[in-house]
Amino acid sequence: MRTPGSIAHLLYPLKKRWYIVVLCIAISSVIATRYLYMATPEYQAVATLKIEDSQQGMANSNLYRDFDVFKANAKVQTEVEVLKSRSLFEKALDRLDFYVEYYQVSDLKTEEKYHEAPFRVDFSITDSLFAKQQYKFRYLGGDNFVINYDFNGTAIEKDGKFGKQICDRGVCITVNKEANIIQYKTAASLDKNWEFVVYSKNALASKLQNKDYLVKALDKDVNIIKVYYTHPVAEKASKLVNAVAEAYINQSIVDKQDLAGNTVDFINNQLATVGAELDNARSSIKSYRVKNEIVNIPQETEATYKTLSQLEIQKVDINMQLSTLEKISDYLRHNREIKFTGPDLGSIQDGLFSESVTRLNSKLRERDETLKKYTEASEKIQNIDADINQQKAFLIESVNNTRRKLLARQDELILAIDEEKATFNGLPEKESTLQELNRNYFLYEKIYNFLIEKRTEALITRQVDVSFNRVLESAIIPEAQVSPRREIVFGISIFIGFIIGVILAYTRHYSSPKVNAPEDMVYNSTIPVIGQIEKMSKGQPAYKNFTALTTRILMNQPQNKPMVVTVTSTLKGEGKSFIAAHLARTLAAQDKKVILVDLNTYAPKMAEWFDVRGIDGMKEVYLQQTSLQNVIQITNIPHLDVITAGNAEQPIGHLVATSRTKDIIDELRLHYDAVIVDTPEVGEYIDAIPFMKWSDLNLYVVKADSNRDQLIANAEMVKEEYRLEEVHFVVNAMKEKRNHTGFLSPKKNKSIKTLQHTPQLTNLFMW
C-alpha cells in the first residue's frame, strides 16, 4: 500500500500513464524539428579593433609614433559612438553589393540567397524619393520573364527580357542570367519561385543598422572594441563587419591627413612671417654694428635667452591653437554632423568639448532613427532638432570660452616677455641695443626652426597611409548559427513536452480515475486488495483465478475454525454474486463444507443458477415462516449447499439488523466450514452491514474500469462509520492477465498448448 503523500504515491499516476509523457515528448520533438526547418537561421560575425594608446603610438614603435603629430588621449567610448554613426555605416555599405537581395520562396519558408540566385539585377535610381521595391520573378522560358510588384496597393505586372532595362517608379532595373550558377548549382533553377528587393542607400542602412548591429568596448580601461553583426546569411554578416572596420580605419586616415594638410598650410603662412622677421633682425644687427663700430658685446646671460625663447614658443603655440579654434568654429557653423573625435582636435585639450561632440552625434543618430517613424514636421523631430541646435550652441560657446582663455594666456605671455626685456635696461645703451637685436634674431631663429620641424612632421603624416587604430582580428564567415540553437530548441521542446505530458497524465488520472489493476485500489485507500479476477470470456475456466483467491483467504484465517465471508459491493453489476458463487464452488472443491446464502433479496440469482427454485429461503426465515434447517438445499456439487432468497413479498431489510442475524450466523457455523453470504449493494441497501459486522471476512467487490474515487470513498465510509474489520477489496473483470501475486504474468510460449481437464458445473459456469 502506498502511504498518501509518499513519493511512490505522488508518482503513481505518472508511472501508470508514462506513455502519455513519451507521446508528448515525441510530438514536441517533431514540432521542434519542423520549427528548425522553417525558422530562418542567424549567424553572428565579429571583428576586433584596437584603439592605439596616445602615449605609446603604434605598438611602441617610435618610427610610427613620431608620425602621429596630433595624438591625444582617445576615449574608447567616443570611438564606439563613431562606429555606431550612420555616416560611417553608409560608407561601409558603399563597399558591399548588398543593395539587391534575392529570395527563394517555397511553400514552407522564404530563404535569402546571396550569390546563389540564377540571375543578377543591376539598377539605377532615377528618383531621389525612391526607398525600396520588392519584385516577384517568374521565368517564362528562353529570355522571357515576368515581374510582379505592388505600388501603393496597386498590383503591377511587367514582361521583361534578360539584358533589357525596365524603368518604373523611380528605378530602372536590368535582369541578367547567371550562367555559371545555373550550370553548377541545381538548386538555383529559374523555374523556382524567386523574389528580389532593390534598396536605396538610405533604406538599406535603415534596415541593416538595427539591433543586430552591436559595437561594444571590451572594458573601459582597455582600448579594445568589438563589432558584432547578426544576419541570416553568414557571408553577409562577416562582410558587413569587415566593411565597417575598414571604413573606420580609412576614415581615421583621411581625417588625419586632412588635419595634417590644414596644419601644413598654417605653418607655411607662419614661416613666411617669421622668415621675414628673421631677415629684418639679421639686417638690423649688421647695420647697427657697422654704424656704431661694435666688435664685441657681452652676450646676454644664457638663462635669460632661454626664458625668452620658451615664452616666445608658448606664444606661437597659443597662436596655433587660436587658429585651430577658428577652423573648428567655421566647421561647426557649416556642418550638421560632427565627424572629428578626440584625436582630431589638434592641440586643443578639452575633455568637456569631446564629450559634447559625442552627445551631439548621439542626438543626430536619434534623429535618423526617429525619421524612420515620423516626418520632418512631426513634433518629435522638431524637439530633437531643438536639442541638436542647443547642443551645437553649447559647443560653439565652449570654443568661445577656450578662445578667451587662450587670449588671456597670450596677454600674460606678452607681459612676461616685456618684463624679461626690461632686465636689459640697466646695460649701456649700445650694448643693450645690440643685445636686444641679437636676442630678437635668436628668438626668430628658434621659432623658425621649430616651425620647420613641425611642418616636416605634418608633411610626413599627410603622406603616410598609417592608422594608429587597427584591426586586430577580422571577421570570418561563421559556420555555427547563433539562432535558433538546435540543442537549446530540442532541450526546451523536450522539457515542454515532458511538462505537458506530466500535466496530461495527472489530468487524465484525476479527471477520469479508473480501476484497472489492484494497485489502483490501494492508491488512496487503507483497505487492502485480497485478490483479483480476470475478465473471462464464455467457456473460459475460472479455476485459476478463484483458486488463488481462496488460497489467500484460507492462509489468512485460523485453521480448523469455521469462517463467515460476506460478499458485497457499492453498485449493482459489480459481480458480487458471481464472486460469491465461484468462491463457494472453489472452497467446496477444496473439501470444505460450504453453504452459500443468497441474501440479495432484491435481485436474487442463486436459485436460478443452482436450479433450486420454488422453495422457501432467507425471507421466510426472517419472517419466521419456517426454520433455517428447512431452507437449506443440497446442490449437485459435492460439499456445497445453498439457501435461496426466498419467495415472500414482504421486505426483510428492517429485520436483518436484529439479533436474528447473529443467531443465523452462529447456527450455520456449527454445521459448515465456510459460510458465504451474497448481499445487495451497500450503495443502495443496508442489508449487508449486519452480516459484515459479524463476519470473519468481508469482500468488497469492485469491477475494473469503474470510477475509483467514488468506490473507495464509499467503502472507506462504510468501514469507518460501522467500524468494520477485515474488509478487503476484490477486483473483478480485470483485462490484464495477472498471476496470483497480482503482478503481470510472464509471456507464455504459444507453441505449447496445455489441455486442462477441469470439472464443470451444469448450466452455471466453467470452472
**pLDDT tens, position by position, 686-702:** 888 899 988 999 999 98
Inform me whether the pLDDT recorded for 746 exceeds 80: no
Burial of 691 (0-12, 13-18, 19+ CB in 10 A): buried
Going from the C-alpha of 27 to that of each of 319, 484, 502, the distances in angstroms are 79, 19, 14
Between 341 and 205, the higher pLDDT residue: 205
The bridge status of strand 640-643 relative to strand 674-678 is unpaired
472 and 227 Cβ atoms separated by less than 8 Å: no
Copy the grid coordinates of residue 534: 480476470
Instruction: Give the C-alpha separation, 272 to 274, whole Å.
Output: 6
Q: How far apart are the first and last CA of the chain?
A: 31
**Per-residue confidence (pLDDT) for residue 17, from 0 to 100:** 81
Inform me whether the pLDDT recorded for 298 exceeds 70: no
Q: How many residues does the chain have?
A: 767
Burial 515-552, CB ≥16 within 10 A → b, else e:
bbbbbbbbbbbebebbbbbbeeeeeeebbbbbebbbeb
Inform me whether the pLDDT recorded for 337 exceeds 90: no
Mean local confidence (pLDDT), 709-727: 83
**Per-residue confidence (pLDDT) for residue 302, from 0 to 100:** 64
140 and 99 Cβ atoms separated by less than 8 Å: no
Report the mean per-residue pLDDT for the chain: 82
- CATH number for 518-741 (one of 3.40.50.1970, 3.40.50.300, 3.90.1150.10, 3.40.50.620): it is 3.40.50.300
Inform me whether the pLDDT recorded for 269 exceeds 80: yes
Q: Is the N-terminal amide bond of 604 cis, ω within 30° of 0?
A: no
The mean-pLDDT minimum among 17-31, 295-309, 310-324, 670-684 falls in 295-309
Mean local confidence (pLDDT), 737-756: 52
Copy the grid coordinates of residue 657: 439488523
183 and 139 Cβ atoms separated by less than 8 Å: no
> What would the DSSP string read from start to end of 569-590?
ESSTTSSHHHHHHHHHHHHHHT
**Per-residue confidence (pLDDT) for residue 548, from 0 to 100:** 86
**pLDDT tens, position by position, 224-266:** 999 999 999 999 999 999 999 999 998 888 877 777 788 888 8
Q: Please choose, from the candidates 763, 705, 762, 756, the residue with its C-alpha nearest in 3D space to the C-alpha of residue 540.
A: 756
529 and 730 Cβ atoms separated by less than 8 Å: yes
Copy the grid coordinates of residue 299: 652676450
**pLDDT tens, position by position, 152-184:** 888 999 999 999 999 988 899 999 999 888 888
**Per-residue confidence (pLDDT) for residue 198, from 0 to 100:** 96
Inform me whether the pLDDT recorded for 66 exceeds 50: no
The 3-state DSSP class for residue 703 equals: strand
Inform me whether the pLDDT recorded for 389 exceeds 70: yes
Inform me whether the pLDDT recorded for 54 exceeds 80: no
**Per-residue confidence (pLDDT) for residue 586, from 0 to 100:** 93
Q: Please choose, from the candidates 569, 565, 581, the residue with its C-alpha nearest in 3D space to the C-alpha of residue 706.
A: 569
Q: Please choose, from the candidates 382, 695, 726, 333, the residue with its C-alpha nearest in 3D space to the C-alpha of residue 527.
A: 726
**Per-residue confidence (pLDDT) for residue 678, from 0 to 100:** 95
Q: Could you tell me the residue ranges of all domains in the chain?
A: 7-39+484-511, 100-199, 256-466, 518-741
**Per-residue confidence (pLDDT) for residue 172, from 0 to 100:** 95
Between 621 and 332, the higher pLDDT residue: 621
**pLDDT tens, position by position, 555-594:** 888 877 899 999 999 888 888 999 999 999 999 999 999 9
Copy the grid coordinates of residue 10: 505522488
Query: What's the order of all strands across the beta sheet hosting 222-231?
Result: 213-219, 222-231, 43-51, 469-473
Inform me whether the pLDDT recorded for 474 exceeds 90: yes
Mean local confidence (pLDDT), 390-406: 82
Inform me whether the pLDDT recorded for 299 exceeds 70: no
